[in-house]
Structure 1
Amino acid sequence: MRPIIFCDFDGTITKSDNIVAIMKQFADEVTAPIKDAVLNKEISIREGVGRMFAQIDSGLREQIIEFVVENAELRKGFEDFVDYTKQQGIPFYVVSGGIDFFVEPMINGIVNHEELFCNSADFSSEHIQILWPYSCDKECSNDCGCCKPTVIRKLAHDGDFKIVIGDSITDLEAAKMADLVLARDFLIDLCEKDGIKYQSFETFHDCINIIKKKLEVRV
């Protein structure tokens, strides 16, 4: 069984959720109820993210990028973790509900472009419009936006040992498909509620140690 890793970005690779931070900084009052509706599963992730960004002027693009780059912080050990996957020949993909214009600057030089799956944005209108290049396939009806289960079905082979790393509701459906879930924050609560086995982590050095032990046991 070949190990293959699918890792979230916001709140996982970074120490905080950048979409939440962007909304608080640029459109807090009008987007807070939308965010809560997503977390409470009252509306889909795709609808919620699209509606939140639609509240922000397209002219703020560069300010948003600058804000994320200056304020977001990569979780400790991430670069070592990526190096570990390369050394071990483990396929590693970042699958994110975030948007390319602020995700890419944060991981440029660490993760290759072809290893990143996320949403994109159109700034040609007055307000930001989110595009969905990795929307749900016919096996998913959750209206995910960037559909992590769809990406997993596309990239993983039968018999692969699927490892999912995440922190929030956007990772729940992927966690249901995983052989090993590394979880933190809200994803822990969701896994416990749904009876999904997981191991918690704080740094990517924790992730390295957990995966090493798990692969040793499997061998």
Structure 2
Amino acid sequence: MSCFFPIADYRKCHQPLFYTNNLNQYAVLCDFDGTISEKDVTDTLLNQFGNAKCALLEQQWQEGIIGSQECMRQQIANMQASQPELDRVLAQIRIDPAFSEFISFAQSRNLNVHIVSDGLDYAIQSILKRYNLDFLPIFANRLLHNQQRSWKLDFPYANDHCLKASGNCKCQHRRKLTGFQKIFYVGDGTSDFCVADKVDMVFAKDKLIDFCQQQRIAYYPIKNFGDVTDILPELLKAPAENSCLTPV
């Protein structure tokens, strides 16, 4: 029987959440796949290393037959690749060119930035490492490998009561962020829906824009993190000074 081991660097992944002090009054939660990364990392790996069952599982998830946690658990179990093969695909995935500038801005303003993703911890860390950004706290599903060609997922942030049945319940992370004056969220897809109405402002792309419109959640539509960097300075000012910016 194969033994599976986590392969992400736990000194950098799954760190305790930062808490507010006199300098850190604001937090930004960021999705990864399709938000920070230019394309969905898990889909890319499954297209490369998955089998026919992965597509069937995706269809069952889209039809609401299974939740995203169960879908991903089975999909990753149906993936066959060595770690070097996986690394070669991850090395080709790029992030939003404006993300590094956004992080520099966040550091200059003492903003806490956390990555909360229903994706794969090792994949996220591996990609961010190429950009010297792997110091960011990453909260994602735990990727396990058997040192051969098989993979498994562990879900350290699952919540039995998660409305989206996600592997990583993003609402749970939001609840742990206590004491901040404002909490912002940047995302693009269905795993971001449940947390969108629990933050002070949403920066939305793609499906998340449609959801915010349908649910009448205030948001700013963005194309990339350059838009976030442009808008945030006004939102960090006193409320009386924010009249020049109106969310959708």
Same fold (TM over 0.5): yes
Answering whether residue 110 of structure 2 is matched by residue 107 of structure 1, we say: no
Shift of 1:106: 1.1
Shift of 1:28: 5.6
Q: How far apart, in 1, do the equivalents of 2:26 and 2:127 lie? A: 25
Q: 1:171 to 1:141 in 2, by over 3 A?
A: closer
161, 172, 182: which is aligned to 2:182?
A: 161
Shift of 1:139: 6.0
Partner residue of 2:32?
A: 9
Query: Would the aligned equivalents of 1:163 and 1:178 in 2 still touch at CA under 8 Å?
Result: yes
Answering whether residue 135 of structure 2 is matched by residue 123 of structure 1, we say: no
Partner residue of 2:77?
A: 54
Query: Would the aligned equivalents of 2:90 and 2:126 in 1 still touch at CA under 8 Å?
Result: no
195, 200, 204: which is aligned to 1:179?
A: 200
Shift of 1:33: 2.8
**1:105-139 deviation per Cα after TM superposition (whole angstroms, max 9, x unaligned):** 111221415x1111112222863110111222x76
Structure whose CA Rg is larger: 2
Q: How far apart, in 2, do the equivalents of 1:7 and 1:212 lie? A: 17
**1:26-76 deviation per Cα after TM superposition (whole angstroms, max 9, x unaligned):** 22632123223334443211111111111112x433212210211x11112
Q: How far apart, in 2, do the equivalents of 1:68 and 1:188 lie? A: 28
Query: Would the aligned equivalents of 1:65 and 1:101 in 2 still touch at CA under 8 Å?
Result: no
TM score, norm. by length of structure 1: 0.88
In the TM superposition, 1:67-216 aligns within 5 A as 67-70=89-92, 72-108=93-129, 109-112=132-135, 115-124=137-146, 127-136=150-159, 140=162, 142-154=164-176, 156-158=177-179, 160-216=181-237
Q: Which amino acid aligns with 1:91?
A: N
* Equivalent pairs, count: 214
Q: How far apart, in 2, do the equivalents of 1:193 and 1:28 lie? A: 35
Q: 1:37 to 1:187 in 2, by over 3 A?
A: farther
Shift of 1:216: 2.6
Shift of 1:83: 0.8
Query: Would the aligned equivalents of 1:5 and 1:162 in 2 still touch at CA under 8 Å?
Result: yes
Query: Would the aligned equivalents of 2:98 and 2:226 in 1 still touch at CA under 8 Å?
Result: yes
Q: How far apart, in 2, do the equivalents of 1:91 and 1:172 lie? A: 21
Q: Which amino acid aligns with 1:36?
A: Q
Q: Which has the higher helix share?
A: 1
Query: Would the aligned equivalents of 2:157 and 2:167 in 1 still touch at CA under 8 Å?
Result: yes
RMSD of aligned Cα (Å): 2.2
Partner residue of 2:11?
A: none
Shift of 1:103: 0.9
Shift of 1:90: 0.8
Shift of 1:96: 1.0
Partner residue of 1:21?
A: 44
Q: How far apart, in 2, do the equivalents of 1:103 and 1:180 lie? A: 24
Secondary structure class of the residue paired with 1:216: coil
Partner residue of 1:43?
A: 66
Q: Which amino acid aligns with 1:6?
A: L
More displaced stretch, 31-40 vs 176-185:
31-40
85, 95, 120: which is aligned to 1:63?
A: 85
Q: How far apart, in 1, do the equivalents of 2:61 and 2:208 lie? A: 14
